[in-house]
């Protein structure tokens, strides 16, 4: 019996190792493929063109491949989504972890996690029909297709990730920390603000970063509601165009092997690098949190 269990554990160990190795190889192959298709653009298109502020890839006389408006649009929408999602996500996680009753938690937690399964195209329609016109009426805008509309949708999509991971981090704080604070005369709110949140801060920050990584690569919702105007702007009330929307809208019509084709793969490589950097930083925070607890 012991020998059989030993062999079973070894098979499971090798299975997990193979799965992890295949995942790493798959990510590396994606980088290699994107680099193979996109990096040759650096040899054909001048750097001054790539760093310009105009994206006009279909011009027959003077095509412009300035990626700055696309990068700025992606950063603007992601930043606004983070500003909106973090207070609600961390606040909701704090309530579920520290103040909600058992019945409330059992109802709200599964409901919030189900929100992560809503198709992005459905959220896009909701943004077009409800959120966009509401913002247009509220702020007196000329168009409902703005960066703010896309940011609200992305914040809605990031909420389940931020809330679930942050709530787990808060619940993982040792109970002795809270009991010591309460024993010294602190209120429940003071204990949460001064003890629980600081102790869980690495996990909470990691939850926020994972939420950001979730929304950076979102395509359909932002393509439907941000207006797809490749302009360099920092105003949330202007139409913008993100990297993901550009790739989705133009890849199907671009000539194979053209400069435009290569540029799309190049910005795809840039987007993947941004997403990977955010997730690696979040992973680093989580690992640091685990190591500090073991000390």
pLDDT at 214: 80
Q: Give the separation between CA 228 and CA 246, rounded to whole angstroms.
A: 8
User: Is the domain of 138 the same as that of 28?
Assistant: no
pLDDT, tens only, 90-127: 998 998 888 888 888 888 888 887 887 888 888 889 99
pTM: predicted TM-score of the whole model, two decimal places? 0.86
User: Is the domain of 107 the same as that of 27?
Assistant: no
pLDDT at 165: 87
User: Is the domain of 14 the same as that of 97?
Assistant: no
Number of domains observed in the structure of the chain: 2
User: Is the domain of 151 the same as that of 257?
Assistant: yes
Range(s) of the domain holding residue 20: 2-38
What's the longest Cα–Cα distance across the chain? Answer: 77
User: Is the domain of 8 the same as that of 83?
Assistant: no
User: Is the domain of 117 the same as that of 206?
Assistant: yes
Under-70 pLDDT residues of the chain? 1-3, 286, 288-295
User: Is the domain of 27 the same as that of 127?
Assistant: no
User: Is the domain of 11 the same as that of 156?
Assistant: no
User: Is the domain of 148 the same as that of 25?
Assistant: no
CATH number of the domain bearing residue 168: 1.10.3720.10
User: Is the domain of 17 the same as that of 55?
Assistant: no
Q: Give the separation between CA 30 and CA 46, rounded to whole angstroms.
A: 25
- Judged on CB neighbours under 10 Å (0-12, 13-18, 19+), 48 is exposed
User: Is the domain of 209 the same as that of 109?
Assistant: yes
pLDDT at 134: 93
User: Is the domain of 82 the same as that of 140?
Assistant: yes
């Amino acid at each position: 019996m012991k020998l059989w269990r030993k062999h079973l554990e070894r098979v499971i160990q090798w299975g997990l190792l193979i799965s992890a190795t295949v995942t790493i190889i798959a990510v590396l192959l994606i980088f290699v493929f994107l680099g193979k298709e996109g990096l040759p653009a650096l040899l054909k298109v001048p750097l001054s063109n790539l760093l310009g502020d105009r994206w006009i890839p279909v011009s027959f006389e003077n095509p412009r491949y300035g990626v700055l408006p696309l990068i700025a649009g992606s950063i603007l929408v992601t930043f606004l989504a983070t500003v909106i999602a973090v207070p609600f996500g961390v606040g909701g996680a704090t309530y579920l972890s520290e103040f909600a009753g058992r019945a409330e938690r059992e109802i709200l937690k599964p409901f919030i996690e189900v929100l992560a399964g809503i198709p992005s195209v459905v959220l896009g329609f909701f943004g077009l029909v409800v959120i966009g016109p509401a913002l247009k009426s509220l702020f007196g805008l000329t168009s409902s297709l703005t960066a703010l509309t896309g940011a609200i949708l992305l914040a809605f999509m990031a909420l389940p990730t931020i809330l679930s991971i942050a709530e787990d981090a808060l619940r993982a704080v040792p109970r002795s920390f809270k009991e010591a604070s309460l024993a010294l005369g602190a209120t429940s709110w003071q204990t949460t603000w001064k003890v629980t949140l600081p102790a869980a801060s690495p996990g909470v920050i990691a939850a926020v970063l994972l939420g950001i990584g979730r929304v950076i690569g979102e395509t359909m919702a932002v393509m439907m509601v941000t207006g797809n105007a490749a302009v360099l702007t920092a105003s949330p009330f202007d139409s913008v165009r993100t990297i993901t929307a550009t790739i989705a809208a133009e890849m199907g019509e671009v000539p194979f092997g053209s400069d435009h084709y290569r540029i799309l793969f190049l910005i795809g490589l840039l987007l993947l690098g941004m997403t990977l950097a955010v997730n690696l930083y979040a992973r680093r925070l989580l690992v640091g949190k685990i190591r500090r607890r073991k000390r």
